[in-house]
Amino acid sequence: MLLCIVTLSMQSQEKAKDYLEKVQTLDSTINTLYTVISGEKGAERDWALFKFLFKPDAKLIPSFKNKKGELIVRYMSPDDYIKSSGKWLVENGFFEKEIHRKINTFGNIAQVFSTYESFHSESDEKPFMRGINSIQFLNDGKRWWIINIYWTQETKENAIPKNYLPN
């Protein structure tokens, strides 16, 4: 029994060390965010790693039009996101790929506009959706934390501006 507990503890420490390496730079943190939610149909996601990216009380905030055509936002914790989207991601396949990035930093904070394209499979040639993730970060001197992700999808009425697309 004790050996089992020690082994599990060592595995948890190794995983935490692996996770910590993924949040040392802004670039590695953003890449991990996109990688952890992406996968082919039927592929489970590493939700422990997903939650590791976020500071406690962080929010994921999609903005969209409701059935009445009104712009609204929805505030979710990482756990809320997993509950509302996790099953769909696995059942349908989902890859979100960053195609452009604009970064503003000041001291220990960063604001990133990350333009993305979404696919059901990595082999898809055309995205089924595009949009912009506005991601706020905090560096506590040890790592980067996601504070919020606030996003909207591109629509016919709301095209992504050229300055947020690749040249």
Domain ranges of the chain: 2-164
* pTM above threshold 0.85: yes
Measure the CA–CA gap between 156 and 47, rounded to whole angstroms.
33
**The token pair that represents 98 in the structure block:** 């960053």
Is the CATH number 3.10.450.50 carried by domain 2-164?
Answer: yes
- The confidence score (pLDDT) of residue 17 equals 73
- Confidence grade of residue 141 (pLDDT, cut at 50, 70, 90): very high
Averaged confidence pLDDT in the chain? 93
Tokens of 32: 């991990």
Q: What number is the average pLDDT over the span 109-124? A: 98
The strand ranges marked E within the chain are: 54-65, 71-73, 95-106, 109-119, 129-139, 144-153
pLDDT of residue 14: 61
The model's pLDDT over 77-108, given as tens digits with 9 standing for 90+, comes to 999 999 999 999 999 999 999 999 999 999 99
Q: Could you read off the pLDDT of 11-20 as tens digits, one per residue? A: 555 667 789 9
What is the pLDDT at residue 8?
47
